[in-house]
A and B are shown apart, each in its own frame.
Chain A
Amino acid sequence: MRMPRLSTVIAVGALAFLLLPFIVVIGASFDTSNQFAIQFPPRNLSFMRYTEINPKYIDAVINSTIIAVIVSLLAAAFGLAASLGIVRGSLAGREIFKSFFRLPVQIPLIVTGAVFLQFFSWIGSFTGFYPARSLAGVVLAHLIVTIPYAIGSIAAMLERLHPSYEEAAQSLGASNWSVFWNVTFPSIRPGVAVGLFYAFAVSFGDVPIALFLVRDKTMTLPVQVFNDMQVDFQPSILALSTLVIILSLVMMLVIQKLVGLDFVLSSRQKR
């Protein structure tokens, strides 16, 4: 089979287009030819930008990481429970449950952000607890939009695990808990790992939701960068972004080593 020529050309172009912004950011982060202007391709290569990173970004990275870790763990737990219920439960109208649990990703993120801003102040007005005053607000809002990703990858795995394995374990005298921990969970672990990974990525990168909920103390990295890009763009942001890009690549490689690219891809489609 000879290769489709035009398609290959388009594919090369698409790949270049998708990688371009990262190449520009990484390249420009090493430029120090001019104190305040951004230059790509870079001229005077040095690590200077990396030493200038404003401490407020470090705080933002810490906030974003805390939020994303908590969100991904919770999303995986809730996603696991929901997947078990949807795939294994005896349900009338399984498809309806599936679509219901997928709803949050179909709502425009900006709407979700606005909704939570209003909801949290409404909660606060009669309980005295204002979730948006701490990281809890962003965590709760991110949780609801990341659970569908976790369900997508875990349910995909669960659907491939034939119930006869669980039944075999039961027939051999295993208790329900033992069946779950010894048979079900080990088999769907890759799905859980991918779910965690997606939830982390979505939470760590989100702007439209967090924008409504963060304050100075709870500022996340993407929102900080988003704000500064509009008013006060410091070249050191490029250095920080480069670090984020490298970290994402490393995480991607790790997750691929753990579960294989095929699985990451196939569960992505199940969104």
Chain B
Amino acid sequence: MASDAVSSRRTGLSLSKQVSHDSGHARIRWERFLWLPGLLYFFLLLLPQGTFLELSLHADTGAGQVSDTRSLANYIGILSDPFFLRSIWQTFYLSLIATAISLAIAVPTAYALARIGGKLATISLSLILTTSLITVVIKLMGLSIFLSPAGLLNQMLLGTGIISQPLILINNQIGVLIGLVQYVLPILVLLLFGVVQTIPVYLEEAAEIHGATRTSIFLSVIVPSMKPSMVSGGLIAFNMCMGAFTSAVLLGGGRVLIMPVLVQQYIIQRAEYGYGTALAALLLLFVFAANVSVGLWFVRMRRARPVRAGA
């Protein structure tokens, strides 16, 4: 009798739990949370970009007005004008060189910081992180003071007699390059640091005991393991450079007319919205094309060789 009571009470318990399960404890439908940000993305991303691209199909008629009919005239005009072609080319190669230089510095830097480890690395990383978060305008201010013809760098070089004329390091492409490296280097170092940390030290030891020199270890163990992140990190850096406008203006001194600068000039200063929007659309197109093609190339490369970092 007693055991009957217990078992029936148990049944009762499990029944009541099942009931509550059906009413209120079903799985939370988390995917519904996507509606709100999704709507926001529609109104602040898809709709503006769409109307913007549409505007680029209208030719300028002067005084900030555009024609009512749609055509590819702006695009044809830009792509057949040597001035714009030169600007497109310049945007590309400056971004590419800045990315390459940044990678060449960031890879050994991340490697050294990861291997030094401890407090020193933590402090260095915090500083690098902080520099990546402070507005680029302040960095460019410091750089232009330091690099100017009367700046400390030229004073030191002149003082030691290495050069007899001040080096012109700002208001030209060199200045812009230095600015771009300053802009993307911290992000690359932070990104690659995390990657080096996943490469076990014993792999380096294995290479060393088999006779590898420091350089050989770096080139045959570290660099291949980092290759995937170097590609994705390089892509991020390249994207940032392609859109970098501030360094081109402040260190290019109005002489380095890369696409972002032209976009701003055409839209704000000249109010030629047709050309301005078409230039912006082309910039967007190039960035996406670069991303997609590198992405595809990368997928093919990975399929051919299953590269996995670490053990």
Contact = CB atoms under 8 A, between A and B. Distances in A.
Contact between chain A and chain B defined by CB under 8 Å: yes
Interface of A: 1, 3-8, 10-11, 13-15, 17-25, 28, 38, 40-41, 78-79, 81-82, 84-91, 97, 100-101, 103-104, 106-111, 113-119, 122, 140-141, 143-144, 147, 166, 170, 173, 175-176, 179-180, 198, 201, 204-208, 211-212, 221-222, 225-226, 229-230, 237-238, 241, 244-245, 248-249, 252-253, 256, 261, 264-266, 268-269, 271
A230 B191 CA distance: 33
Nearest to B262: A110
Contacts of B133: 198, 201, 205, 248, 252
A180 B28 CA distance: 10
B74 interface: no
A114 B280 contact: yes
B180 interface: no
Contacts of A266: 194
B160 to A, nearest CB: 16
Q: Chain A interface secondary structure, helix, strand, loop or mixed?
A: helix
Nearest to A141: B44
B231 interface: no
A261 B280 contact: no
Interface in B18-58: 20, 24-25, 28-34, 36-38, 40-41, 44-45, 47-49, 51-52, 55
Contacts of B20: 173
A82 B129 contact: no
B250 A97 contact: no
Given A10-B112, A176-B28, A207 B277 contact: no
Contact of A82 (B34, B111, B187, B264): B34
Q: Chain B interface secondary structure, helix, strand, loop or mixed?
A: helix
B97 interface: no
Contact of A269 (B29, B185, B194): B194
Interface string B185-210: 11101110110000001001100000
Interface stretch (B3-11, B143-151, B300-308): B143-151
Contact of A222 (B30, B130, B135, B291): B135
6 contacts: A82-B33, A85-B34, A103-B45, A119-B52, A144-B41, A205-B135
